Amino acid sequence: MSPAFSICVYCGSRNGVAEPYSDTARAVGHWIGERGGQLVYGGGSGGLMGVVADAALAAGARVVGIIPQALVDREWAKRDCTELHIVDSMHERKRMMAERADAFLALPGGIGTLEELFEVWTWRQLGYHDKPVGLLDVAGYYQPLLGFLRSSVAAGFMNDWQMSLVRSGDDVAGLLAALVQDAGLRDRSNLSQI
């Protein structure tokens, strides 16, 4: 049976120092699994990546991990994914993640997470895809970034329309439900809990 929806989650390969980061990653994985969804992510076993994948699997979700061989060689792959795709490059990884997703969600993370978020956001503004993009602001983690982005609008380097292409919020269920709805998947029968 195919999943009701597929959410690509970008997040840290580290846990971060605050407990809410792991708790929120766990809640995201649980939400996806409870609603018959599929998690697409970077295939790592550590940090928030491992937390969200473990929670999704435990809640019955299909978990698709996509990881470059160079990271597998460092023993970072999560081997118990429903599907684990080992690819040659980061470019191939990101392309495949984007193809397998109905929507994108960024949790806290470092430069890799930020790069992935900005790439799918850029692709959306250029019309390469029309899939919704979300930013989950856990414990105010993304407030400085959102403030900077608003200052970019004020300075004339971005506009309100570009900002509107990314939904942000701190409520796991509310933001995920909005992304699924924006992806046009709300009418599927197994999403009745949304």
Q: How far apart are CA 192 and CA 43, in angstroms?
A: 29
* pLDDT, position 185: 65
- Which stretches of the chain drop beneath a pLDDT of 70? 185-194
* pLDDT, position 2: 86
Whether 4 contacts 191, CB under 8 Å: yes
* pLDDT, position 1: 72
Q: How far apart are CA 106 and CA 167, in angstroms?
A: 10
> Shortest CA distance to 4 belongs to which of 97, 99, 102?
102
> Shortest CA distance to 18 belongs to which of 80, 108, 149, 96?
108
Whether 33 contacts 61, CB under 8 Å: yes
Distances (CA, A) of 53 to 25, 41, 103, 181: 9, 8, 17, 22
> Shortest CA distance to 168 belongs to which of 122, 116, 132?
132
* pLDDT, position 179: 97
pTM above 0.95, yes or no: no
Q: Which amino acid makes up residue 57?
A: L
Q: Which CATH architecture has domain 6-185?
A: 3-Layer(aba) Sandwich (3.40)
Q: What HEC string does the chain produce? A: CCCCCEEEEECCCCCCCCHHHHHHHHHHHHHHHHCCCEEEECCECCHHHHHHHHHHHHCCCEEEEEEEHHHHCCCCECCCCCEEEEECCHHHHHHHHHHHCCEEEECCCCHHHHHHHHHHHHHHHCCCCCCCEEEECHHHCCHHHHHHHHHHHHCCCCCHHHHHCEEEECCHHHHHHHHHHHCCCCCCHHHCCC
